[in-house]
Amino acid sequence: VTLHLNPISSVHIHQKPLVFLLNSPLPLVWKLKTERLAPGIRRVFFVSLGSVVQFEKGNFSLSAETEEKVFAEKNEQLLQWAQKEYGAVTSFTELKISRNIYIKVGE
C-alpha cells in the first residue's frame, strides 16, 4: 500500500512531528511518498506485526522511526490508546481494500 503524505494547501512545508498507526490484519509493505515535509522532523510509524515501511530516497528516513506493535482488535480501543498516549487524534481512516492512501497533514 502506498501512503501519500502532503501538507494541506495553506501550509507550504509541514514542519511538525507526526505519528501514524498503520494497522492491517495481514502484514503489509507500506511505501511512503511524501511532498513538502521538512527533513529532520520526528515522524513515528507504528505498524502491525510483520509489516514494514519503505521510504523514498532522500533523508526523510533519517528522522523517521518505525516500530512493530500489537494493536487493539477494535477501532474504539485503538483510538482510546492513541488519545491516551498522544493527547489527540486528528485523523482516522478505515479502508477495506486500497493500494493508495492520500493524507493531507497540517493544522
Beta strands 52-54 and 2-7, pairing class: unpaired
Q: What's the confidence (pLDDT) of residue 106?
A: 87
Quick check: 69 and 43 in contact, CB under 8 A?
Answer: no
| Of 9 and 56, the one with more pLDDT | 9
Quick check: 36 and 13 in contact, CB under 8 A?
Answer: yes
Please give the mean pLDDT across all residues of the chain. 92
Could you state, in order of their start, the residue ranges of all structural domains in the chain?
Answer: 2-105
Q: What's the confidence (pLDDT) of residue 59?
A: 67
Q: What's the confidence (pLDDT) of residue 65?
A: 93
pLDDT for 73-83, tens place per residue?
899 999 999 99
Quick check: 47 and 18 in contact, CB under 8 A?
Answer: no
Please state the rounded mean pLDDT for residues 12-41: 93
User: Is the confidence at residue 107, as pLDDT, over 70?
Assistant: no
